[in-house]
Structure 1
Amino acid sequence: MEKVLKKLRKDAFLIFEAGLSAVSAKDAVEKALILENGMLRVREREYNLSSYARIYLLGGGKASADMVAALHEVLGDTIAGGVVSVPHGQGGKAGKVRLLEASHPEPDQSGVENTREILRVAGQAGRDDLVFCVISGGGSSLLIAPPDGISLADIVEMNKALLMCGADIKEINTIRKHVSTIKGGRLARKIYPASLVTLVVSDVVGDDLASIASGPTVPDTTSYGECLGIVEKYGLCGRIPDAVIQHLQRGADGMVEESVGDGDEAFKNTHSIVVASNSTAVKAASARAKEMRYGVVSMSSSVVGDTHDAAHSHVRLAKKVLTKNDPVAPPACIISGGETTVKVRGHGKGGRNQEFVLSAAAEIEGLPIAVLSMGTDGIDGLTDAAGAICDGKTMARARELQLEATSYLNNNDSYNFFARLGDLVMTGPTGTNVSDIHIIIIGKPT
């Protein structure tokens, strides 16, 4: 079986790579833009570039550096200037556009200063100007502008509590949008009355524009009251700084201005499109698996909820394929995408992809199955790994090293479990971000 498992592992990586290649941020932006004789077509809309006095480029996110590169290739010297907040290691210049570095996933003072500069440039845009905004996952941490009375330290502590409590990304970003002067449509308001085009690489299930990077350039329909409901739902009083709770309460009482809603004049001249998403990656990965002669089951690009539950449901389906040839016969490949949630109870190190794989490992022991789960951005949780891989012999190998999988799971320490086995997947930053891809490959029964 060792030879079979080795092939399944190799094929899992090849299928993942096909999905990742399909969501190259640079390629996606270039495909979305067509420039001919001074007329720029952005999907169904056209812009006569000669009619604008100046063109600016703003934004932030883990994929934004490659998005800027694509826009610069298309527009060149017509871009008068701009500022984009990017992760460390991606800084520099693209023509007159400055790529300023900041920390992710934990925001830092550089992020605050970068955002202040973005808002300053946005305020320079006038009625005769055109602004492009490049937004991608990670923008919530890279675009940081706390309102008066809330410090950067408050934001950091708030984010940690939100990420650990089990809230989903929409709930997390609902609160983030209400403790910011750039999120929740506020950047669009700052840019108005200039025309605005937002290009988005989506890391959010369902591609909800208001949730991606906390929606700085699109209308927001959430409220301070909803924020307080989330605080109560997850018992966050005492875990989120008092300054944040007090700000949310003042907002609910009508003492602080709401985020920018639909119908506001700020959105009169705006156009927002998603250029790459998780569904794009899942479709490409599925096509590659079919080329490799696997029967393919594409579950969904909208997998959410508890990470352990998601892993168990994937394994149940894999066993059904293996034992009943249902819904396809092996060799087969189950592919899905999305963003699950880990409720942190222990003090270990890991991420939702590593937890997904560890949750699956015990259930596939002795079977011709391999499970790969990775973040398309190359980062899983607060670790340097993109994810992990396991197969039908993982548990036997773990016992040889006296590793107790249940203990590691209970301590949320999947990183150190897979580090001991050499089964962490390290890619480094990929330059894109469309959330996670799960690949389960089932070989023929032996």
Structure 2
Amino acid sequence: MIPPDAFASHTLSRHPEGERVQRILAAAIRSAEAGAAVRRFLRRESDSLFVDGREYPLDETRRVRVLGLGKASPAMTLPLADLLPDRATRGLLIPKATPVHAPDGFDLQPGGHPVPSEASLRAGQKARGLVRGLDENDLLICLISGGGSALMTLPHAGVSLPDLRALTSDLLACGARVDEVNILRRHLDSLKGGGLARLASPARVVSLILSDVVGNPLEAVASGPTAPDPSTREDARRVLEKYGLAEKVPAPILEALETNPETPKPGDALFERVQNVIVGSNARAAESACSQARSEGFHPVWLGDDWQGEARDVGRELSRILKSASEPRPFCLVSGGETTVAVRGRGRGGRNQELALAAVRELAGRRDLLLVSLATDGEDGVTDAAGAVVSGETLARGLDLGLVPESFLAENDSYSYFSALDDLLKPGPTGTNVNDLMFCFGL
């Protein structure tokens, strides 16, 4: 469990309301803890496993297979292992490449992230081996969380891993939204867009899903390995055209988008034996943050979980909302979503740090205001920070050190800016992943 002081920074450690703010941040992460989220939807009664009220008689089940996929999969797997100690359960755990402990009977195969790697390909091959040959008397339980799209891959025939890596890198560099990237992934990868469920058929399939995607569409989390896919190959081609990549991607990718079979769609009989359950989301974490804010004496306001677009634009917009807010003080405006960063420079950072950096000049001189932007998995971009804190004094402190925020924005170097001010948030990996949360405080 992440303690409040894990969110210490120069500003929060010295601000009179800093401890209360840290408790609000910790409450949001605590509520999204992956193991607890799964546990709320599972129960065991004698020889039956109940998933969100639906019964699965274990005495009528020949084999139980478990696939844990995503950044939060280690924590998600533990409650299930605790409920099935008497079953000869075989499983595969595909987390991000960090030291984790796999339950007995589980194979451990970390994958690559945010771009699929050779390890991701091995994970995909092992996942195929885990589910291949299952029949109608078997049960496959999947524990799915964010990051799974890159951590596990099994490209369609003709599409190479280097092709897929290059496409993913190009899309991310263009600032493509995660849902757009995943449309292409679903049509180029045999395990995505319902592909895993199709491979496991006719077995019964249960997926417990910790959502890191705006709006919680089932097909978007880890690219929906057990979910119907409403998108088409034509939609995938349109994403390439939107970002000017149609003429740049390797020829095998364009060929695959012309010749591959369509992904299974909503209404397909395949999904009559599939149960997909959202166990945790951005909105649920925000609800807990608002509850904690209320207990701390703040007036909480929920601004929604659908904040998307360029991180710097969202940072400026939230700053304007914060400055003009008329709520009773002290107040806490909570919003969620996932922004993007179109990479223009060679700096280091992440979308939450860039969002915060764009707010620095907007909030200058307003000592009564604070803004915090936070990745709930504890990892913002390819950095060791989850996000950053901005106050009305941040600009002046930076200028005293010769730091001009616009110069760092031009280089996408938000990490260096906030590192120099000791205002990065570094709670470490949280074991969960429900997108980003932004907090605006009026004090």
Q: TM-score per shorter chain, which class?
A: over 0.9
- Name the residue aligned to 1:312: 316
Please tell me whether the aligned partners of residues 68 and 77 of structure 2 are also in contact (alpha carbons under 8 angstroms): no
- Name the residue aligned to 2:106: 97
2:161 is the alignment partner of 1:152: yes
CA distance in 2, matches of 1:232, 1:423: 39
The AA in structure 1 aligned to 2:58 is L
- Residue of 242, 255, 262 corresponding to 2:251: 242
Show the 5 A alignment for 1:31-430. 31-248=40-257, 250=258, 255-321=259-325, 326=326, 328-367=327-366, 368-430=368-430
Instruction: Note the C-alpha offset of 1:4.
Output: 10
The AA in structure 2 aligned to 1:138 is G
Tell me the alpha carbon deviations over residues 90-120 of structure 1, each in whole angstroms, 9 at most, x when there is no partner. 4443121223222222321111111101111
CA distance in 1, matches of 2:91, 2:133: 11
CA 1:379–1:79: 2 relative to 1, 3 Å: farther
**1:178 alignment partner, SS class:** helix
After the TM superposition, which of the residue ranges 336-345 and 394-403 deviates more from structure 2? 336-345
- Name the residue aligned to 2:32: 23
Instruction: Note the C-alpha offset of 1:407.
Output: 1.1
The TM-score with structure 2 as length reference comes to 0.94
**1:87 alignment partner, SS class:** coil
Instruction: Note the C-alpha offset of 1:152.
Output: 1.6
The AA in structure 1 aligned to 2:78 is A
Please tell me whether the aligned partners of residues 237 and 246 of structure 2 are also in contact (alpha carbons under 8 angstroms): no
The AA in structure 1 aligned to 2:388 is A
The AA in structure 2 aligned to 1:425 is L
Instruction: Note the C-alpha offset of 1:49.
Output: 1.1
State the superposition RMSD in angstroms: 1.7
The AA in structure 1 aligned to 2:302 is S
CA distance in 1, matches of 2:392, 2:70: 37
Instruction: Note the C-alpha offset of 1:5.
Output: 6.5
Please tell me whether the aligned partners of residues 372 and 440 of structure 2 are also in contact (alpha carbons under 8 angstroms): yes
Please tell me whether the aligned partners of residues 59 and 118 of structure 1 are also in contact (alpha carbons under 8 angstroms): no
CA distance in 2, matches of 1:3, 1:59: 36
Instruction: Note the C-alpha offset of 1:79.
Output: 4.6
CA distance in 2, matches of 1:89, 1:169: 23
The AA in structure 1 aligned to 2:37 is A
The AA in structure 2 aligned to 1:423 is D
Which structure 1 segments of 5+ residues have no match? none
CA distance in 2, matches of 1:385, 1:262: 39
The AA in structure 2 aligned to 1:118 is A
2:16 is the alignment partner of 1:12: no
Tell me the alpha carbon deviations over residues 202-227 of structure 1, each in whole angstroms, 9 at most, x when there is no partner. 00011100011000001111111111
Please tell me whether the aligned partners of residues 207 and 275 of structure 2 are also in contact (alpha carbons under 8 angstroms): yes
**1:56 alignment partner, SS class:** strand
Q: How many residues align?
A: 432
Instruction: Note the C-alpha offset of 1:8.
Output: 3.6
CA 1:79–1:274: 2 relative to 1, 3 Å: farther
CA 1:282–1:124: 2 relative to 1, 3 Å: same
CA distance in 2, matches of 1:90, 1:266: 36
CA 1:4–1:179: 2 relative to 1, 3 Å: closer
The TM-score with structure 1 as length reference comes to 0.93
CA distance in 1, matches of 2:373, 2:381: 13
CA 1:76–1:416: 2 relative to 1, 3 Å: same
CA 1:19–1:165: 2 relative to 1, 3 Å: same
Instruction: Note the C-alpha offset of 1:238.
Output: 4.8
Instruction: Note the C-alpha offset of 1:77.
Output: 3.3
Please tell me whether the aligned partners of residues 13 and 19 of structure 2 are also in contact (alpha carbons under 8 angstroms): no
Instruction: Note the C-alpha offset of 1:270.
Output: 0.8
Tell me the alpha carbon deviations over residues 162-201 of structure 1, each in whole angstroms, 9 at most, x when there is no partner. 1121221211100111110100100000111011100000
**2:40 alignment partner, SS class:** helix
Tell me the alpha carbon deviations over residues 19-59 of structure 1, each in whole angstroms, 9 at most, x when there is no partner. 11001110011111011122222113111111101111013
Please tell me whether the aligned partners of residues 375 and 386 of structure 1 are also in contact (alpha carbons under 8 angstroms): yes
Which structure 2 segments of 5+ residues have no match? 1-10
**2:335 alignment partner, SS class:** strand
**2:192 alignment partner, SS class:** coil
Instruction: Note the C-alpha offset of 1:265.
Output: 3.3
